[in-house]
Structure 1
Amino acid sequence: MPSNAPRDEPRETQRPHYAARLEDRVTGRLGRALRRRGWVPRILPYTGYGQASDGVAPGSVRVLARVLLTSPNRPARVDASFERRGYRSFLAAKAPAEPVTLEVGDAVVHVTADRGGYVDVVVPVDLAAGTHEVTFRARQGEAAVGQVVVVARGERLGVVSDIDDTVMVTAVPRLFLAAWNTFVRHPSARTPVRGMAELYRSVRATHPDAPFVYVSTGAWNTASTLTRFLETHGFPAGPLLLTDWGPTSTGWFRSGPAHKDAALDRLVRELPDVQWLLVGDDGQHDPGIYTRAAQRHRGHVAAVAIRRLTPAQQVLAHGTTTSNDPTAPGRGRADHPPHPGDTDPSAALRAPGPATVAAPDGFGLAVALRDVIEGPSTQG
């Protein structure tokens, strides 16, 4: 039997928050009106992930998708209508509580979309390592085909990567710049961070079976845009773990750090053989999130890599020129004094636990991570 996998959010209360109840009423009225006009549910699949069976321990996959209401005149592929400017992806009408049948391997399961129209379910199924198709069907509309990336058992390196200001140059979260990036600029206008694609490709070349997972506080509405960005600029493909903007059962807004904490905990739990390289930037909360993850999951984190933003980029990220990384130069504390090597942006920061390295771009991080990626040098 499949399990209704918990979303990467804090535990919800039994009685939803007022904002969530209000949103649900609006969604219900809008949905009924659109269905009367002939709109039908269509499924937008997201790439999932899972663990292969080894002949003894069973395998399972986490399947992800969203059910939306679309005009019968829209393209059959839901994401084909999102190829234009980013703001259009936020105008989709969700289909909560929609029954969905999915097929993966020899498993056929029936699930129900949640209040946001999302399908997030763990399916016990024995699949070989590699990429497999998942077929989704709603009561109306055409079938949709997605993918799950199944990871082989056995110890291996994997990469968890932030997106904003880590692989893609952005101006989040300053409101007017974030709105410009999200709602106005065409997706093709986004710029990759220098050297990051080369860094990730070097990991893939050395570790062909390494899973890549992109974890961001960005909205699921932007998944198609982000997937095209990663593909266009040569980043290894992998699942996106995003979040849903708007009211929750516990408040008006979701917690970005809590989303990332939960996503990392779940990856460690569901892919226990993977040693994760955690990659982020010091413009927001990544240093603290990754430090906590390394402390909680000793033996499951290979290293932490932080892209150092320039003072100007720090201002765009959070309004000051100061790094949010407490180990950055000038941010030393009594319980964590700065190491002399911190003056070199590529220096490893000597602290208990996995190695932590920092550099202004992917080329600098590649130098600092050489031993992690290629293994320790045997030369004296």
Structure 2
Amino acid sequence: MIKRLLHRLALRTERVADRVFHRPATGREIDPYIGYATRDQIIVRGRVLSELRGDDGMDGQSKWDNFHRMFLLFFTDEVANTTVRCANTEAQTDEEGYFTLVLPADGRDGWSSEDVFVEGRAEPVPCPVFAPRSDARFLVISDIDDTMMETGAYSLLRNLYTTFTGSSRTRRAFADAIALTTCLSDDGRNPIFYVSSSPWNLHGFLRQVFDNTGIVPGPMFLRDLGLSETQFITEGHGNHKGASIDHILSVYPDLPAVLLGDTGQHDAQIYHAAIERHGDRIAAVGLRAPGPGMDALDLRDRDRLLETRTPTFAGPSFDGFAEQLALARPDLFLTDMERKPT
């Protein structure tokens, strides 16, 4: 009851703000999200906005300038109920401007792009698509914040400060996470997907951070923080992450998965539930213990993972995890040393 009342109040407030600040959706821009291809279809994703706002951070930029740029990423003007087209396939944007185009599979692998047209804009926008290689042996599903890059998501205030006062040039990625995912990727042979509680508003920002720091790129599954007639803010962290894992495993049914996360947002609980649902499809779990490390609850969750007999690694860094994987599942994992030609 209270949530429903808050939903109505927030929706009315947004509509008043639209009128007061004059946010007419006159422009037509596409914010492209990384899509993905399966053996059955190609998924092209994005969002139509009246204006694109990027984090074009510069070295030495002040925290206030960073805050202003990051704030603008959340103050979007969505274009709802407009037509987008790719080849012979059309779709309508939803209330928040999001769209998904489902194309027939064509056997591609690696990176490619699809030109997407939007009603009211003459020029197409290329939307990237990633297709796992036919010789992939497993896939990786990884969290982002405090797993791949330092955020402080285990503390709300630290998380907000890091998010809003940094830029794509100042955000720090963990060297051990880059080394691990680079090793697991095996020069693109094994796909990496990212599942995060970060909002879709940060998709372009995160792609820039990945490019700047050398994090292996891959399709992202983020959350919608928007407000509509049918949705109040977003679904919960655990529900979103669990549903995304289920979806990825369902569209790549022949590939086992390595799950990477951190203890700061209780990923161990989410991954334990995934093991209960998918059993041996989960080949291994790796967890970073950020900040103050693992508390009693984290240790309990780690022990529950160990009881499943799924190879599990938990520590302040991912150093040594690749070697443990090679020992636990030599049929799937090879170390960098074994890959080197003799």
- Interval of TM-score (by shorter of Structure 1 and Structure 2): 0.7 to 0.9
Match of 1:143 in 2: 124
Residue 277 of structure 2 aligns with which residue? 296
Please give the alpha-carbon distance, in whole angstroms, between the structure 2 residues aligned to 1:237 and 1:42.
23
**Contact 1:87–1:183 under 8 Å retained in 2:** yes
Deviation string for 1:207-244 (max 9, x for gaps)?
74211111100011111111121222222111111111
Question: Does structure 2 retain, via aligned residues, the 8 Å contact 1:66–1:118?
Answer: yes
Deviations 1:330-366 (A, max 9, x none): xx6xxx5xxxxxxxxxxxx742252222122121323
Alignment of 1:135-174 (within 5 A): 135-141=115-121, 142-153=123-134, 156-172=137-153, 174=155
Q: Cα distance 1:276–1:31, how it changes in 2: closer, same or farther (>3 A)? A: farther
Tell me how many residue pairs correspond in the alignment: 315
Alignment-derived partner of residue 12 in structure 2: 22
Greater Cα offset, 278-287 or 21-30: 21-30
> Please, what TM-score do these two structures have when normalized by structure 1?
0.74
Q: Which amino acid aligns with 2:8?
A: Y
In the alignment, residue 163 of structure 2 is paired with which amino acid? T
Change (3 A) 1:27 1:156: farther
| Distance apart, 1:151 and its partner CA | 2.3
Q: Answer yes or no: is the 8 Å Cα contact 2:256–2:283 preserved in 1.
A: yes
Letter in 1 for 2:142: S
TM-score, normalising length from structure 2?
A: 0.82
- Residue by residue, what CA displacement relative to the aligned partner does 1:141-198 show, whole Å, maximum 9, x if unpaired? 3321011112245762111110111011112253332222222222211111241101
Partner of 2:77: 93
Contact map agreement 1:287 1:325 (CA 8 A) in 2: no
Give 1:257's match in structure 2, choosing from 200, 224, 238.
238
Structure 2 residue identity aligned to 1:129: D
- Give deviations 1:114-136, integer Å, cap 9, x for gaps: 11111134333323222221111
**Cα distance change of structure 1 residues 290 and 27 upon mapping to structure 2, 3 Å threshold:** farther
Q: Deviation per CA, 1:272-301, whole angstroms, max 9, x where unpaired?
A: 112110000111121111111121112321
Distance 1:211 1:172 in 2: 25
Instruction: Select the structure that is richer in helix.
Output: 2
Change over 3 Å in CA distance of 1:27–1:304 after alignment to 2: farther
Q: Which amino acid aligns with 1:197?
A: I
1:42–1:310 distance in 2 versus 1, CA, 3 Å:
closer
Determine helix, strand or coil for the equivalent of 1:263. helix
How far apart are residue 17 of structure 1 and its match?
Answer: 5.1
Ranges in structure 1 where 5+ consecutive residues have no aligned partner:
1-12, 53-58, 71-77, 315-320, 337-348, 376-380
Q: Which residue matches 1:34?
A: 24
1:56-88 CA-to-partner distances (Å, cap 9, x unmatched) read xxx202221010012xxxxxxx46x33233223
Are residues 1:324 and 2:298 paired? Answer: yes
| CA deviation map 1:28-56 (0-9, x unaligned) | 75898524xxx31110111111213xxxx
CA displacement at 1:246 relative to structure 2: 4.0
Provide structure 2 residue ranges, at least 5 long, that are not aligned to the other structure: 58-65, 336-342
Q: Does 1:367 align with 2:323?
A: yes
Q: 1:359 to 1:370 in 2, by over 3 A?
A: farther
Are residue 230 (structure 1) and residue 210 (structure 2) matched? Answer: yes
- Superposition RMSD on alpha carbons, in Å? 2.9
The whole-number CA distance in structure 2 between the counterparts of 1:353 and 1:132 is 38
Equivalent residue number for residue 340 of structure 2: none
Match of 1:268 among 249, 272, 281: 249
Q: Distance in 1 between matches of 2:182 and 2:24?
A: 45
